[in-house]
Amino acid sequence: MIKRILAISFLLSAVLFVKAQSVDEMVEQARQLELQMKESDALEKDKDILKIQPNEIRALNQASQMCSRIGNRQKDKSSKASYFNQAKSFAEQALKVNPSNADANLAMAVAMGRMALISGAKEKVASSKDVKKYAELAIKFNPNLAQAYHVLGKWNYEVANLNVFERGAAKMLFGGLPDGSLKNAIANYEKCRQLDPSFLLNYIELARAYKADDQQEKAIEVLKKALTLRPIYQDDPGIKADCKKMLDDLQ
């Protein structure tokens, strides 16, 4: 009887090991698809992983980020919102698995930030507070997480540029928002650049912040640097094209 129990235990352990190994391989495959600029395929691979292990946090985090990026490329608002809601749902599940996971907090900040940008004044302001909260939590749990500083920079830039209706909504809902400024946006974008000099999206946002702050020469310097970088993500070729156009307009 003891030998039989041991044999069954060994068999179960072997099955679990193979399953875990298979999931690890699938996670790596999804990551490689992302780096091959096949984000829709990466998302599908993540969904396959989650059918096997619903709480696989790496797949949840990547699926959230893929939905945020793919959604941002959609042409109509309803399609964007559908993807952004999926991004939020994946991030919520990741945070249930581990509330202290920096990438999960970043994924939530990105998803809510994307949704805020297509929302009305009240919804935008309501989401804005959570964007800042989750970006700061991501930095708390991983002070070297470059993209979290980028999100915080974007938050500062957007808050600094809220229109009168949005500021009115902020005052009505929350008695106002924490101060966001171009100075803080630039500082956060520069911190992101320091931690990850290859992150192209950060360059165009930094250049916009410098331009808005009347630092045109700095904006030009940043854009020129961006044009020397190798595209990594699916959006990067388009971002480089936008950098070239902005540089031409400034020179």
CATH code (residue 130)? 1.25.40.10
Question: Quick one: CA dihedral 100, 103, 104, 105, positive or negative?
Answer: positive
pLDDT along the chain (251 residues), means of 10: 54 47 89 94 96 96 97 95 97 98 98 89 79 96 98 92 69 62 95 98 97 96 97 96 96 88
pLDDT in tens, 154-168: 999 988 887 766 666
The single residue listed with the structure tokens 């096949």 is: 38
| Residue where the block lists tokens 């930094």 | 206
> Is 3 part of any domain?
no
CA torsion through residues 18, 21, 27, 29, sign: negative
Spatial distance between the Cα atoms of 1 and 43, rounded to a whole number of angstroms: 46
Domain count, the chain: 1
**For residue 243, is it within any domain?**
no
> Angle at Cα 160 formed by Cα 133 and Cα 237, nearest 5°?
80
Q: Is residue 250 in some structural domain?
A: no
Is 172 within a domain?
A: yes
Please report, for residues 134, 167, 172, 190, 235, the alpha-carbon distance to residue 179 in angstroms, rounded to integers and kept in the order given: 17, 11, 16, 19, 30
SS3 labels along 103-130: HHHHHHHHHHHHHHHCCCHHHHHHHHHH
Write down the pLDDT at residue 18.
41
Query: For residue 36, what are the domain limits?
Result: 23-196
Indicate the pTM of the whole model.
0.86
Angle at which helices 164-174 and 121-141 pack, to 10 degrees? 70
pLDDT digits (tens, 9 = 90+) for 52-76: 999 999 999 999 999 999 999 999 9
Look at residue 18 and give its three-state secondary structure: helix
Output the pLDDT for position 19. 52
What pLDDT was estimated at residue 120?
79
Rg of the chain over all Cα atoms, to the nearest angstrom: 21
In a domain, 14, yes or no: no
Q: What was the pLDDT predicted at 131?
A: 93
13 occurs within a structural domain: no
Question: Cα separation of 72 and 109, whole Å?
Answer: 15
Residue type, 91: A
Q: Is 107 part of any domain?
A: yes
Residue 126, C-beta contacts closer than 8 angstroms, at least 6 positions apart? 173
Rounded to whole angstroms, the Cα distance separating 52 from 47 reads 9
The verdict on residue 247 lying in a domain is no
* Cα–Cα distance measured from residue 202 to residue 119, given in angstroms and rounded to the nearest whole number: 22
Max CA pair span of the chain: 83
Nearest to 133 by CA among 119, 114, 117, 113: 113
CB atoms within 10 A of CB 177: 19
CB atoms within 10 A of CB 213: 17
Kindly give, in sequence order, each residue whose CB lies less than 8 Å from that of residue 179, ignoring residues fewer than 6 positions away: 159
